[in-house]
A and B are shown apart, each in its own frame.
Chain A
Amino acid sequence: MSGPRPLPDADHETITIESNDDVVRARQLVRTLAQRCKLSLVDQTKLVTAASELARNTLVYGGGGVMRTGLVRRDSRVGVTAVFEDSGPGIPDLDLALTDGWTSGGGLGLGLSGARRLVDDFTLDTEVGRGTQVAVTKWAR
């Protein structure tokens, strides 16, 4: 698994995700950042919801981990990036995990495909036995 993804131009914050309280904290932190870079209400909602999904994955599937989040810049755009990292079991079948799963009962119920649709940039790094890292970014329009 590649090392932590650097957040360019960001003063970022890191929190551990070890409990349900932390999932709530993750949401609140991401929401604060989203408001700071003036994401529209709908975009804020999408990003925070995605963060909630991913934070929960980290906790439940990854056995706990961390979230690093902060503002980022690219050209003249500003956005929010959140990186979720765990040293859990890793995801064995990426195709399956990224399939729309839990409405039909199939898939791994990770909500990854859904979360991906809610954000602009989405990268996934995973290795069985090493862990998983999901990085998402939402840009202000």
Chain B
Amino acid sequence: MTGMREGVTSVAEQEISTRLVELLTQQRESLGAAWLENVSATLRGRISVAELDRELRELYSALVDGLRTGGFDWQGDSYAEVRALLGELSRNRARQGFSPTETAVSVLAGKEILEPTTETSAEDIHAYLRLSRLMDALGLYTLEVYAKTREEIISAQSEQLMELSTPVVKLWEGVVAVPLVGTLDSARTQVVMEKLLQTLVDTGSDQAIIDITGVPAVDTEVAQHLLKTVVAARLMGAECTISGIRPQIAQTIVALGIQFGDIVTKATLADALKHALRRNSVDLGRAGGAA
């Protein structure tokens, strides 16, 4: 979609944009009404007519201004207002859950308003075609903004989900655990790691258990993250035990050549808890019972 840059507009293009401005201004009321009708038909009452009317009127005015001062250069400064309005429209639609089509139709329905009939002059048909091309470009722009907004929403939601699905629980005085469930990816494992370490500080616990009973598979990256979590916990002065390593996972880890060194691993969460408590009581014992 190559628009001609401002200042390099051909005489022909200028004539066309002038003609369009003329048409659009003269028949503003009827064309605006037609546009509104087309759009509200597709949106079937999910947006109030009054609101749609306001949206489209603003867009209409901005479009005419754009044509008047910037020709067909929809990416230039003259169309900044148009782009801003379309962006806002798009973002709102995306947030409210409208489909991409429903969003784009607000723009594309504008094409029909000047549709030629058998009585239209050749010159005006030309103008219509040019307008049609412009509206297509704007329609695509609307979709781009829509898509981006949807991505942002999904991204925010998945973050929230990650937060909610990694609960760190206090099992005993001085012992916290995080039971991991489902497939782990790098991002989620990092979130878990940070949360676990912070909980150690918040609860004053110096024993952590990471239970992976509910994790079907572990790859190199995840195993590395687990390792790093244990090392980080140690640096802080806490100890970390990994429990729930099933035979398949053990095989995978060995096959991947990942060294777990002296990190304690237990088959079940219960064993890990026993181990953690034993560690703590041994220390208490040596101090002669002093806490």
Contacts and interface: CB of A to CB of B under 8 A. Distances in A.
Interface of A: 42, 76
Interface in B140-184: 148, 152
Interface of B: 148, 152, 194
A76 B194 CA distance: 25
A42 B194 contact: yes
3 contacts: A42-B194, A76-B148, A76-B152
Contacts of B152: 76
B232 to A, nearest CB: 10
Nearest to A76: B148
Contacts of A76: 148, 152
B153 to A, nearest CB: 13
Nearest to A40: B194
Contacts of B194: 42
A97 B240 CA distance: 33
Nearest to B194: A42
A42 B197 CA distance: 12
Nearest to B193: A42
A48 B238 CA distance: 25
Nearest to B190: A42
A14 to B, nearest CB: 31
Nearest to B197: A42
Nearest to A41: B194
A42 B152 CA distance: 22
A42 B193 CA distance: 11
A55 B152 CA distance: 35
A113 to B, nearest CB: 16
Nearest to B159: A141
A77 to B, nearest CB: 11
Contacts of A42: 194
A74 B194 CA distance: 27
A130 to B, nearest CB: 37
Closest 3 CB pairs of A and B: A42-B194, A76-B148, A76-B152
Contacts of B148: 76
A42 B194 CA distance: 8
A18 B152 CA distance: 43
